[in-house]
Amino acid sequence: MELFKEIIPFLKESRICKALTKKHKCYESHVRTFWSSVRYEEKEKTIYSAVRMKDEKEKDTDLEVKFTVDDVRRVLNLQDKDGDPIIIPERLSKGFWFRMGYIGHVNENYIKSRFCRPYKFMVHCVVHALSHRKEAYDETSDYIMNIIACLVLNRPYNILQVIFNHMVDNVKGKKYIMYPRFIQMLLDDQVPNLPKDPTDKLKLHHMDSETLKRLDKYKDLSLNRSLSIEQSSEKIKKADYMAPENDQWRHAKSNSEDEMDRLRDMVEKKLRFWHEKDERKEREHQRYHRK
Alpha helix (H) residue ranges in 141-179: 142-153, 159-172
Rounded to 5 degrees, φ, ψ at 65 are -125, 155
What secondary structure, in 3-state letters, does 204-230 show?
CCCCCHHHHHHHCCCCCCCCCCCCHHH
pLDDT in tens, 10-24: 999 999 999 999 989
How would you label 64-97 residue by residue, b for 16+ Cβ within 10 Å and e otherwise? Answer: ebebebebbbebbebebeeebebbbebbbbbbbb
How far does Cα 184 stand from its chain's mean position? 18
**Tens-digit pLDDT profile for the chain (291 aa)?**
666 778 888 999 999 999 999 989 999 999 999 999 999 999 999 999 999 887 777 788 889 999 999 999 999 999 999 999 999 999 999 999 998 888 889 999 998 888 878 888 899 999 989 999 877 678 899 999 999 999 999 999 999 999 999 999 999 988 899 999 999 999 999 999 898 999 999 988 766 666 666 666 655 555 444 444 544 546 676 777 888 899 998 887 766 566 888 999 999 988 888 876 554 444 443 443 444
Angle, vertex CA 181, rays to CA 25 and CA 191, nearest 5: 70
Strand order in the sheet with 60-67: 39-41, 46-54, 60-67
* pLDDT the model gives residue 134: 75
C-alpha of 44 from chain center: 24
Q: Which residue, 175, 129, 131, is CA-closest to 24? A: 129
pTM: 0.85
> Would you state the pLDDT for residue 240?
79
Q: What is the pLDDT of residues 169-180, one digit of tens each?
A: 999 988 899 999
Nearest 5°: phi and psi at 111?
-120, 150
Which distant-in-sequence residues (6+ apart) come within 8 Å of 187 by Cβ? 30, 34, 51, 65, 194
CA–CA separation, 151 and 216 (whole Å): 23
Q: DSSP 3-state assignment of 26?
A: coil
| pLDDT, position 211 | 65
Closest listed residue to residue 89, CA positions, set 145, 137, 37: 145
Q: Show me where the domains of the chain are located.
A: 1-17+87-157+203-222+265-291, 26-84+170-200
32/38 Cα distance (integer angstroms): 10
The pLDDT score that the predictor gives to residue 281 is 41
Contacting residues for 10 by C-beta, under 8 A, at least 6 apart? 122, 152, 235, 236
- Of 27, 40, 236, the C-alpha closest to 121 is 236
The pLDDT score that the predictor gives to residue 282 is 42
* CA–CA distance, 163 with 78 (Å, rounded to integer): 11
Integer CA distances (angstroms), 124 to 58, 63, 215, in order: 44, 36, 8
In this structure, which amino acid lies at residue 134? K
Q: What is the 3-state secondary structure (H, E, C) of 42-104?
A: CCCCEEEEEEEEECCCCCEEEEEEEECHHHHHHHHCCCCCCCCCCCCCHHHHHHHHHHCCCCC
pLDDT of residue 277: 56
d(CA 67, CA 224): 48
